[in-house]
Chain A
Amino acid sequence: MGVFDYSREALDNLKIDDPGILDRLVDFEHARAVHLKKDRSKRDKRISLKEAVAEFVQDGDVVLDTGFGYVRTCIQSHFEIMRQGKKDLQMIGAPNTNQSYMIVTGSVRYSHNSYTGAEMRGTDRNYTRQLKTGKVRILSEWSHGGIAQGLKAAQLGSPGVLSKQMLGSDIVKYNPYLKVIHNPLKKEPDPSLFIPALYPDVTFIHVQAADKFGNAYIYGPTVNDLAGAAASRKVIITAEEIVPEMDIRLNKKGSIIPFFYADAVVELPYGALPGSMPGYYYWPRQWWEKLMRFSAINEENIGTFLDEWIFGTKNQIEFLEKLGGAKWMIEARRQTKAAEGDNEDIDFSYQEYTVNNDPGIFY
């Protein structure tokens, strides 16, 4: 018998008959023990992405998706996880837009779901199909804010938070971790939702710059990544650039993940592709349009697409070549600089991918 008293209603609704599978995400004692055992030495932690995935991702791990959908997300690390054939991962994120294609090849088997899809570019028909055929099992439903609070609770050093989100909704009926209790300080009944602190097993965080020890600098939305770094048992920092420690200390005022969370540091320029990277590159919009509008619609299309873009490339450099290489790099940098505030006169119109019209370019 496990130590957690999960919501019976949610277990039944989700048809979870092996609730032990839920434990890792909320097992504070275990996470703390792992954190206490980490080597604190300030050492050069640089390794390759291949080595990082091989060493730190175990089949069945709970993986936290980071960044925001396709903004500063560690997508190239996901691709390497798929290339190495890691299996049966649980994926959590807010959003976890990127779990969908990882289900196809069996890398992701379990979903802690808050959002899948591509906003204006459409709902994710691949995810629907994977769900119906049982290739993915949803272990818990969340709102973005609920996951954010669970991760933040861990960073705060608290067993959980009382939230006013998700109350009364069906999300609570499909999340075994959540309990409605009353605010104990109120005389009148005051329903509040207990959200436990969340402790993922492994988290890749892609940042603009890091030193070799793992001090990592983020520019733009940090979303849940500062909390996720504090909570996760294993943290791998991947960075556009490796910079001297003094550059972080003197120049990088802003959001910093401290080095002692990091188990490994990977120098990984273009590691957020095919997403965007604030300060570095805009996103290849047609790639996502093709994924949503053509590739996601049946097993054959998605298989071909993944073979071409993920299994047909060895690393992010080959991926970049496929997007258009030097031409793409130049365009993507101009566009992101303009989008963020400089070079006001850049035109963002582009040739959209539609099923009937594939422009064949990605900028």
Chain B
Amino acid sequence: MKNHAPANPLEILAYIISAQIKDNTIVYVGTGLPMVAGILARKTHAPNITMVYESGGQDPIQGGMPWSVGGPFTWRKSPVVMEMAYSFGQCYNGYVDIAFLGFAQVDMYGNVNTHMIGNDFHQPKARLTGSGGNNDLTSLSQNMVLVGLQTPEKFPEKVDFITSVGHLRGGNTRKEAGLPGNGPIAVISQCGVFDFEPKTKRMRVKTLHPGMTLDIAQMCTGFELLKPQGEIPLTPMPSSDIIEILRTEVDPGGVFTSLPQA
């Protein structure tokens, strides 16, 4: 066995995301870590997944890492590239099993903000990208997984703008708003993996990454995290084989999985 440097936090995230992907499913991925994770899943435990991108690219045969959800690697040798309206329609019609996207803020009910930071739409502290496909995927996908860094500002009790409805105000409110699917089923951060308590739909700790404690995770959160019954399990970490695949085959340039140099 080769001697590897331990996985860095981005590599760990990529691995945890990939672990959410089951074989023989259709996976809708956004740019960045979700793409890395999808390709890692395909090269490890889920070789038969179909990856779908916002460009409409279906089942590309991988070359390098896509630099944009419209870039050639998202439709490389694809048998078909769907028009945008159809590629989201495929989520509504039940031909996407799981989708992965990032966020600027996520609240206790899994509602996502990628619009703005601040309370005044016309004078925001920062204007962000807007929805892009975030709303479409979060609204329509059977299962949504949100991926991002965890700080109290990024995990507020209430997001500054609801770009995408997760579980809205909890309970049955997502369904009452008319939305299909399960909505967010997991949030993955550098602290742990979170799910949503089935009745209240509030965010709950599922697993914590090694070295992380509930207190630290709570300090990184702007609302009270629910805890599961009993001891909180540790998130499984990537084996050295998987780290090797990640570094040599999936993202050899470290485009998405190397930490920024100081």
Q: Which residues of A contact B (CB under 8 A)?
A: 13-15, 67-71, 94-95, 113-117, 119-120, 123-124, 127-128, 131-132, 138, 141-146, 148-149, 151-152, 164-171, 174, 180, 190-193, 220-224, 226-227, 276, 278, 285, 336, 338-341, 344, 348-349
Given contact pairs A127-B127, A128-B124, A131-B122, A222 touches B132 in the complex (Cβ within 8 A): no
Interface residues of B in 113-142 (CB under 8 A from A): 115, 121-124, 126-136, 139-140
On whether the beta carbons of A141 and B75 are closer than 8 Å, the reply is: no
> Across the interface, which residues of A come within 8 angstroms of B164, CB to CB?
169
Residue of A whose beta carbon sits closest to that of B69 = A119
> Given A119-B67, A166-B139, 20 more contacts at CB 8 Å?
A67-B70, A114-B130, A119-B31, A119-B68, A120-B31, A124-B127, A131-B122, A142-B131, A148-B83, A148-B85, A164-B180, A168-B177, A169-B164, A191-B176, A192-B178, A220-B75, A221-B56, A222-B81, A226-B83, A340-B76
Given contact pairs A141-B130, A168-B179, A223 touches B84 in the complex (Cβ within 8 A): yes
Residue of A whose beta carbon sits closest to that of B35 = A120
Among candidates B32, B122, B132, B161, residue contacting A170 with C-beta atoms closer than 8 Å: B161
On whether the beta carbons of A164 and B162 are closer than 8 Å, the reply is: no
Given contact pairs A13-B121, A164-B140, A224 touches B85 in the complex (Cβ within 8 A): yes
Judged by a CB distance under 8 angstroms, whether B57 is at the interface is: yes
> Across the interface, which residues of B come within 8 angstroms of A67, CB to CB?
70
Judged by a CB distance under 8 angstroms, whether B174 is at the interface is: yes
Given contact pairs A13-B121, A115-B130, A222-B83, A148 touches B88 in the complex (Cβ within 8 A): yes
Report the minimal beta-carbon distance from B113 to chain A, rounded to whole angstroms: 9
> Across the interface, which residues of B come within 8 angstroms of A124, CB to CB?
127, 129
On whether the beta carbons of A339 and B73 are closer than 8 Å, the reply is: yes
Annotate B71-85 by CB proximity to A: 1 below 8 A, 0 otherwise: 111011100010111
Among candidates B64, B128, B132, residue contacting A348 with C-beta atoms closer than 8 Å: B64
Given contact pairs A116-B130, A220-B75, A223-B70, A168 touches B162 in the complex (Cβ within 8 A): yes
Among candidates A131, A166, A349, residue contacting B135 with C-beta atoms closer than 8 Å: A166
Judged by a CB distance under 8 angstroms, whether B92 is at the interface is: yes
Judged by a CB distance under 8 angstroms, whether B11 is at the interface is: no
On whether the beta carbons of B133 and A120 are closer than 8 Å, the reply is: no
> Across the interface, which residues of B come within 8 angstroms of A71, CB to CB?
55, 68, 70-71
> Across the interface, which residues of A come within 8 angstroms of B56, CB to CB?
221-223
Residue of B31, B163, B174, B256 with most partner-chain A CB within 10 A: B163
Docked Cα-Cα span, A214 to B210, in Å, equals 61
> Across the interface, which residues of A come within 8 angstroms of B162, CB to CB?
168-171
Docked Cα-Cα span, A227 to B168, in Å, equals 32
17 CB-based A-B contacts, threshold 8 Å: A117-B128, A119-B68, A120-B256, A131-B122, A144-B54, A144-B88, A144-B133, A146-B136, A164-B178, A168-B178, A170-B162, A171-B163, A222-B56, A276-B72, A278-B72, A339-B64, A340-B77
Report the minimal beta-carbon distance from B160 to chain A, rounded to whole angstroms: 9
Residue of A whose beta carbon sits closest to that of B72 = A339
> Across the interface, which residues of B come within 8 angstroms of A171, CB to CB?
131, 135, 162-163
Among candidates A69, A167, A221, residue contacting B165 with C-beta atoms closer than 8 Å: A167
On whether the beta carbons of A220 and B72 are closer than 8 Å, the reply is: yes
On whether the beta carbons of B31 and A145 are closer than 8 Å, the reply is: no
On whether the beta carbons of A168 and B165 are closer than 8 Å, the reply is: yes
On whether the beta carbons of A143 and B165 are closer than 8 Å, the reply is: no
Given contact pairs A113-B130, A145-B84, A348-B64, A168 touches B174 in the complex (Cβ within 8 A): yes
Given contact pairs A117-B129, A221-B56, A339-B73, A227 touches B85 in the complex (Cβ within 8 A): yes
